[in-house]
Structure 1
Amino acid sequence: MPNKHSFHIVDLSPWPLLSSFSLMNLIMNSMIYFKYPNQFNINFMNISLMLLMMCITLWWRDTNRESTFQGHHTWNVLTGLKISMMLFITSEVMFFLSMFWSYFHFSLAPDWEISNVWPPLGIMMINPYEIPLLNTTLLLSSGATVTWCHYSILKKNYNNSLLALALTLILGGVFTSLQIMEYKFMPFSINDSTFGSIFFMCTGFHGFHVIIGSLFLLVNFFRLYKNFLNNMHHFSFEAASWYWHFVDVVWIYLYTFMYWWFF
């Protein structure tokens, strides 16, 4: 019997529950690694990660079928998805705002426990004009290429959109690689005073968001390659581009206040 409304009632799916359990196991294994590195078994983490990626892949597959082949993403459904994405990005803004709040709390009024100076004594700041500036250039350039991709889709120039999205993924991958290399040679660690804790929390979570955004864009790259997206049906890419621009803006603040300001 056909629906008498334009909203999509989602079919029963095992992926939300299985994804939650896989993510919980992954986080618990990460906590064990931080607390007891000598007793850590990486095989459990690999299994949890593989299960999580499998659930995400199959969940995306079902969503792609609903939107592309079954036509369930009507105008009202798309409106709800847009509002949901806006609220999700707003929650992410609040998430990073809480960490910036703690950073400014310690930096603008340093306590006597850290000798009333910021950065605390013994913290050697890294040069903001080396890898951090290069990463800033890469990420801002990726924001330009993802916008190029969006306008190419609107103009039905799908070859250019594929090229632009591929460049965005490459720039995001290089950014992540350089940040990992930066962490490897960092002159301080997460245990070094409040500065080290806040620095690695902020930049680490931002790097995690870059990886999530890259996966989001990668899914849309394959959808674009398979001709599942067009100038009238491309909200999944639009949502990914919103998320990517949010990641760009957060990095500008991170670079300004955690790399450049006190150098």
Structure 2
Amino acid sequence: MSQAVEKYFVPEPSKFPIFGSFALLCIGGGAVMWLNKVGPGQLVFFLGLATLIYMLFGWFGQVIKESESGQYGKNVDASFRWSMGWFIFSEVMFFAAFFGVLFYVRVIAVPSLSSGDNEALLWQGFQSAWPTAGPNAVESFSPMGAWGIPAINTLILLTSGATLTWAHWGLMKGNRGQLISGLAITVILGAIFMCFQVYEYMHAYSEMNLKLTTGIYGSTFFMLTGFHGMHVTIGAIMLLVMMFRAMKGHFTKEHHFAFEAAAWYWHFVDVVWLFLFVVVYWL
């Protein structure tokens, strides 16, 4: 006797991809015009941002309705898992490129500029040391130490990973109160992390003369920590949405991949910060 084959859900044609493309075009083009003080760059940028927010609300709202109405089966669930896995892999490569830049500068470029003919012919007297603004630095600066706010933020993110796991346990036990409480605590910890990072940036600019323009050290420091902060913000928004959905009664023990996807992303952000703390702040 043949078994029934599960049908694969095929969504209706959607208008949202074209809105997403338009939004990214406006954001990219507007940012370039804004930075170069060309025409209505600021207006174009915020138009793209507003369009992107509209697209996200509309598209994800449609997916949530389809999911909660029971239209998704095991095949769609598997597709979502593979998609999120590859997305996180792309993020790993994103940060790997920036960590690669830092490795090249510290291990290859700076020592090369201070040795042999390079030192004698190009930058006489330049010594290989890290942190450095580079051989042609004009202003002095103070490097960011590991202990203090960075160490506190490390503890905060590690704790947030534990509270998120606690929330997951609550979901698997059918304890919705634990699920919602764990998500709320995790989001609050993420917000505290970002507040500390904003304070750290203000302190760096005003008292340490550490800026994005402070040579190679400043550019790599703000590039890595800034992009990580952006990912923390995105992850906190994702978890906040999961909390609101949990409060509406969404997610069951058997059907909760949206929560898992947000949790994967948050744990990825935690791991990246551990590398950042060791490589950027400590070493």
For structure 1, the residue ranges without an aligned partner over 5 or more in a row are none
**Residue in 2 that maps onto 1:76:** 75
Aligned to 2:14: 13
Alpha carbon RMSD of aligned pairs, Å? 2.0
Q: Aligned partner of 2:169: which letter? A: Y
Check the 8 A contact 2:31/2:41 in 1, yes or no: no
Of 168, 171, 181, which residue of structure 2 is paired with 1:153? 171
Instruction: Report the secondary structure of 1:59's partner residue.
Output: helix
CA contact (8 A) 2:194 2:229 kept: yes
Alignment of structure 1 residues 192-231 onto 2, 5 Å: 192-231=214-253
Deviation at 1:115, TM superposition (A): 4.1
* CA–CA distance in structure 1, aligned partners of residues 196 and 252 of structure 2: 34
- Identify the residue that residue 158 of structure 2 maps to in structure 1: 140
Q: 1:211 to 1:20 in 2, by over 3 A?
A: farther
* CA distance in 1 between partners of 2:159 and 2:143 (Å): 26
Letter of the 1:134 counterpart: I
Max Rg structure: 2
Question: Which residue of 2 is the match for residue 97 of structure 1?
Answer: 96
Contact 2:154 2:277 in 1 (8 A): yes
Amino acid at match of 2:64: N
Aligned to 1:117: 129
Aligned partner of residue 65 in structure 1, secondary structure: helix
User: In 2 relative to 1, CA 128–35 (structure 1 residues): closer, same or farther, beyond 3 Å?
Assistant: farther
Partner of 2:213: 191
Match of 2:144 in 1: 126
1:185 partner SS: helix
Which range moved further: 156-165 or 75-84? 75-84
CA distance in 1, matches of 2:75, 2:41: 47
Distance across 1 between alignment mates of 2:146 and 2:234? 25
Percent identity reads 36
1:168 partner amino acid: T
User: For structure 2, which runs of at least 5 residues remain unmatched after alignment?
Assistant: 114-122, 134-139
Aligned 8 A contact 1:132 1:259 in 2 = yes
Do the aligned partners of 2:166 and 2:182 also contact (CA within 8 Å) in 1? yes
Matched residue, 2:47: 47
The answer as to 2:280 corresponding to 1:258 is yes
Cα distance, 1:39 vs structure 2: 7.0
Look up the SS of the partner of 1:231 in the other structure.
Answer: coil
Measure how far apart 1:88 and its partner are. Answer: 1.2
Residue 41 (structure 1) shift:
6.0
Contact 1:6-1:77 within 8 A present in 2 as well: no
Moved more, 127-136 or 243-252: 127-136
Matched residue of 2:12: which SS?
A: coil
Q: Hey, what's the Cα distance between the residues in 1 that align with 2:93 and 2:44?
A: 32
